[in-house]
Amino acid sequence: PKEQASQEEQMKKLEEVKDKVTEVRVIVATQPRLAGLGKKKPEVFEIAVGGQPDKALQLALEKLGKELTVNDVFKEGDYVDAIAVTKGKGFAGSVKRFGVEEMPRWHKHRKGHSRIGSVGPQKPSIMFYAPFPGQLGFHQRTEYNKKILKIGDASTVKEINPPGGWKHYGLVKSQFIIIEGSVPGPTKRLIKLRHAIRPGKVTPVPQITYLSTAPWQVSG
């Protein structure tokens, strides 16, 4: 009863400020147990609802407390942007981090052959783009214009799983989405998809007739 009363009070407050709403955001949480990842802690983050504020508010209230699926947001043939945190490689030198040319080991390396030369003027400050050693990887990056090739469910599309499961992942047990191209981050890391903010040329929806899950054969 207390929870119901508090919800009614919140709805009354919402009706009072409904005309003043300029932006709608919702807090969502993932369900790792449905994906079979072997983890329990969900990722919780905030998503902005697009469109007119009144329609966005109505949509948010309709979806409040319910489960969202891929089909509720995307469809096959859409272009999306993939946002994720890249693979972390730790502290790296300037050669690996920025591709600085390594000096010969037998000449001109009295103070090191893998270091940078001049860092430029030090006053008022060293420029931010000087190739110093530091953190490499584990940065949030966005891959643009990835086309959705197929959306399905592992319960109906059996051929999505190779024998023994996917490498470093296992078996796909719930809904899946196949996109064209690569995405940042290692296996099992959260990847956020959004509608492309600068989509490319619209092409027809591809017709997939065969899915090959066989491992790559290397001949030599």
Q: What is the CATH number of the domain that holds 197?
A: 2.40.30.10
Report the alpha-carbon distance of residue 34 to residue 29 in Å, rounded: 12
Q: Classify residue 159: in a domain, yes or no.
A: yes
Q: Classify residue 121: in a domain, yes or no.
A: no
Q: Classify residue 22: in a domain, yes or no.
A: yes
**63 and 74 in one domain?**
no
**80 and 42 in one domain?**
no
pTM score, two decimals?
A: 0.81
Q: How many domains does the chain have?
A: 2
**41 and 60 in one domain?**
yes
**12 and 73 in one domain?**
no
- Amino acid letter at 74? F
Q: What is the dihedral of CA 200, 181, 154, 75, to 10 degrees?
A: 0
Q: Classify residue 123: in a domain, yes or no.
A: no
Q: Which two tokens stand for residue 22?
A: 């300029």
Q: Which run of H or of E encompasses 148? A: strand 140-153
**207 and 147 in one domain?**
yes
Report the alpha-carbon distance of residue 80 to residue 193 in Å, rounded: 6
Q: Classify residue 15: in a domain, yes or no.
A: yes
**154 and 50 in one domain?**
no
**205 and 147 in one domain?**
yes
**56 and 146 in one domain?**
no
**52 and 36 in one domain?**
yes
Residue 146 CB neighbours (<10 A)? 19
Name the residue range of residue 13's domain: 1-67
Would you give per-residue pLDDT tens digits along the chain (220 residues)? 555 557 778 777 777 778 888 899 999 999 988 887 888 899 999 999 988 888 898 888 888 889 999 999 999 999 999 999 999 999 999 999 999 998 887 776 677 888 888 888 888 989 888 999 999 999 999 999 999 999 999 888 888 888 888 888 888 888 999 999 999 999 889 999 999 999 888 888 878 888 777 765 444 4
Q: Classify residue 136: in a domain, yes or no.
A: no
